[in-house]
Each structure stands twice: as structure tokens, then as C-alpha cells.
Structure 1
Amino acid sequence: MSTPSPRLVSWENGTDLVIELLLARDVGTVWDALTDSGTAAAWFAPFRLGEESEDAGDDADVPASRPITFELEDIDLSGSVLSCEEYDHVLLDLDDFGVLGIRLLPLEGDTGEGTLLVFTQTAADVDTARAQASEFGPMWDTHLRLFTRSLGVNIAEATEPELDAAYSDLALEAGDAGDGPDSVDASSATADRAES
């Protein structure tokens, strides 16, 4: 049975809320469910993608971005896709939430293929990350549990008080200087866990 594993990771240029989740599904299955608008409606919201920014072109100083809009029940949540590599990661900048990343790491074990899903929400500093974790962590945790169930993977229920307690005082880890949020990698510890 899977359960989310949250912590804060401090980088050279900020601090991330990191939530890891082991999924008993291969990366292709997880990626397809993650990036399908219809499937996303079951665990977050359907989305629509706009055209890639024409400003990017060949200029290395202007990153390619693509508008994305999540169609929530009463409002639209807008943002942009900053980076996306099929079957590896997606990095979003969403209004009201900032930079969010999801990375998929393939795992092989005794039970066959699996995936380590690493969700991140980036903040400028530890205090901001703690505030975001307390405010948004329970919500992200709930959506990740819904995503897990949409894959047919068994996951424990969590009550609102349990989630509030879990995200109100997270452990803080130091990340490697070269593995900041721009790399969409949670930490060297994540890579180590993925390999074991």
C-alpha cells in the first residue's frame, strides 16, 4: 500500500515542499494517466493546453513555455508549462501556487515495475516553504491520493486533522547544489531511494 512521504528540501536558491509516492505501476502507465486531460478530471481537473510561446524561438535566455488552464468547477486556474519531457517530468508555473513539478522515476523490485512519483512546490526560502506546506500540503496530498486511486492502486485514507498535522512541521533536508528545482529532481536522497 502506498502512502505519501512529505518533507522540505532546501536548495541553493530556495526550498521545496517534496512529496514522494511509490506507485505499483510502470512509468508509461503513470505518465499517460498524469498527462491525459480526461483522466486528470478524476483527481484534479481537466485541462487544456495553448500553443507554445513564440518568444522562445532559438533564444536560450527565453525558455519555451506553453499556456495551460485547469478547468475547476467554479473558476479556471491558469499557468504555463515551463518544461516537459515525456515519461520523465513536467514543470508548471500556476497562478496562486507558483512553480510545481512532477517527476517520475522508474523502479524495479521484487513485485515488478513501479514508479516513484516526486511532486515539488518551490518557494524562495524555508519560512515560505513551511507556510506553503501547511496551507497547500494537505490539498496536494489529497489530490495525489486521488491520482493513486485513479490508477487502481490501493492507498490509505487520511483525515483532515491527520494531513494538517503531517504538513505543519515537516523535516528539513539539504539538497545538492546542482539538483535544484530547475532540474526537477527532488534530491540525491530521492535518486538513492529509487535505485534501492
Structure 2
Amino acid sequence: MSTPAPRLVTWENGTDLVIEMPLSVAPDATWAALTDGTRASEWFAPFTVDGDTVTLELEGTESADSAIVGEILSCEADEHVLVEFPDFGVLGIQLLPVEVVPDLPVEAGPEAAAVSAMGVVPAGTVLVFTQSAADEERARRTAAQFGPMWDTHLRMFARTLGLDVPEASEDELEAVYADLDLEVDDEAEDALGDDDLGDDGGPR
């Protein structure tokens, strides 16, 4: 069963909210679903891309007041996209390829189940969503404010792929994202040094 796994990660240049979502769908198929601007209405909001500009049409309208415009900072098909929005900051999605272990049940819908029945194990993907912040304090505020929303929409996206994803209540998600574990990247830890780290391993 696919379930989002959130945490905070401190890098040399800041702290990110990181949400990993395991998907038993190949990266290319996951990417195709992610970048389908029309189908995106099923899990978030429809969007259009014009060069390095992406426009989200909220509530399915074409009103200028309901549109959110972002700048694509980096994009590699089937691998990652990094976009900056005025309302959200820098958001990233990375697709990490994995192989589904043959002796475990495939977490997928009818199509993948049929493939599994034929003895073919499909490739899987770990979708890594990130929202960047300048430091741990801001990252925790960001996680508490936006984390439950991102978590809900990632679950909705996985369901559009035919995956079995459990429901989570608003109260449950708010509790989770209000108190996330902090992970310090090795390079950031080296740069900070022991004197700059608190008792919990995070920056002072």
C-alpha cells in the first residue's frame, strides 16, 4: 500500500520539506501522468506550460484571479522538475526508479495486477516531492501550513494511477506535519560542525 513518508532535510543552503511516495508504476508512466495538464485536474489543478512558464488554473476556471504562475527552473523528462511559485516558493518533484521485489504483492490496480499475474514484475518509482525553505524554523512553518495539502494531493495522484492508498483525516495530517523528524545531510553536517548542531542533530 502506497503511503507518503514526510520529513525535513537540512542541506548546506537551507531546509526542505521532503515527502516520499512509493509508486509501483514505472518512472516514464509516472512522468506522463504528472505532466498531463488536463489530467492534473483529477488530483490537483489543470495547468499549461509555455516555455519556462507554468500556469495553474485553480477551480477549473480561466479567471486571472484563480491562476497561479510559476517559473520552471530545471526540468529533465522522466527524472525531475523544479518550479518556483510566488505563493509556495521552490517546489521540486524527482522520480527515482526502483524495482518491485518479485515475492511481494504489487500495489497497483487492475492493469498492474494483470501484468503481475503473467509473472512480469513492473518497475516502480519513488516520487520525491520537496518544498524549500531558508532554515529549519521556516521549514517547520511551511510543513505545518502546506504539508497536509501536499500529502492529500500526492495520495490523490497515486490513486489516479490505480494504486491503493489509505485515507488520512485532516487532523491526522496536521498532527504529522506539525512535528516532523529532521535529517541533516552529511555535507551540511560537515559544514555546520558539531558546535552548530543541537541535541537533536539539527542546527541550533
**Common topology (TM > 0.5):** yes
For residue 67 of structure 1, the aligned residue among 53, 60, 77 is 53
Q: Give, as a single letter, the amino acid of the residue that structure 1 aligns with 2:135.
A: D
Deviations 1:119-154, CA, capped at 9 Å, x for gaps: 000000000000000000000000000000011001
Report the TM-score, using the length of structure 2 for normalisation.
0.78
For residue 134 of structure 1, the aligned residue among 99, 121, 144 is 144
Instruction: Give me the whole-angstrom Cα distance separating, in 2, the residues matched to 1:110 and 1:123.
Output: 35
Instruction: Give me the whole-angstrom Cα distance separating, in 1, the residues matched to 2:48 and 2:20.
Output: 26
Q: Radius of gyration: which is bigger?
A: 2
Secondary structure of 2:38 counterpart = helix
Shift of 1:176: 3.8
Secondary structure of 1:37 counterpart = coil
Instruction: Give me the whole-angstrom Cα distance separating, in 2, the residues matched to 1:87 and 1:95.
Output: 25
Deviations 1:88-146, CA, capped at 9 Å, x for gaps: 00000012100000000110132431100000000000000000000000000000000
RMSD of aligned residue pairs (Cα, Å): 1.1
- Asked if 1:177 corresponds to 2:168, the answer is no
Report the TM-score, using the length of structure 1 for normalisation.
0.81
For residue 83 of structure 1, the aligned residue among 70, 74, 83 is 74
Instruction: Give me the whole-angstrom Cα distance separating, in 1, the residues matched to 2:42 and 2:71.
Output: 21
Shift of 1:50: 1.8
- Equivalent position of 1:106 in the other structure: 97
- Equivalent position of 2:35 in the other structure: 35
- Equivalent position of 1:194 in the other structure: none
Instruction: Give me the whole-angstrom Cα distance separating, in 1, the residues matched to 2:186 and 2:159.
Output: 33
Secondary structure of 1:177 counterpart = helix
Instruction: Give me the whole-angstrom Cα distance separating, in 2, the residues matched to 1:41 and 1:177.
Output: 39
Instruction: List 4+ stretches of structure 1 deviating above 3 A.
Output: none
Q: Give, as a single letter, the amino acid of the residue that structure 2 aligns with 1:87.
A: D
Instruction: Give me the whole-angstrom Cα distance separating, in 1, the residues matched to 2:7 and 2:67.
Output: 29
Structure 2 residues without counterparts, runs of 5 or longer: 103-120, 189-204
Q: Give, as a single letter, the amino acid of the residue that structure 1 aligns with 2:95.
A: L
For residue 175 of structure 2, the aligned residue among 140, 147, 165 is 165
2:24·2:100 contact (CA, 8 Å) conserved in 1?
Answer: no
Count residues with an aligned counterpart. 164
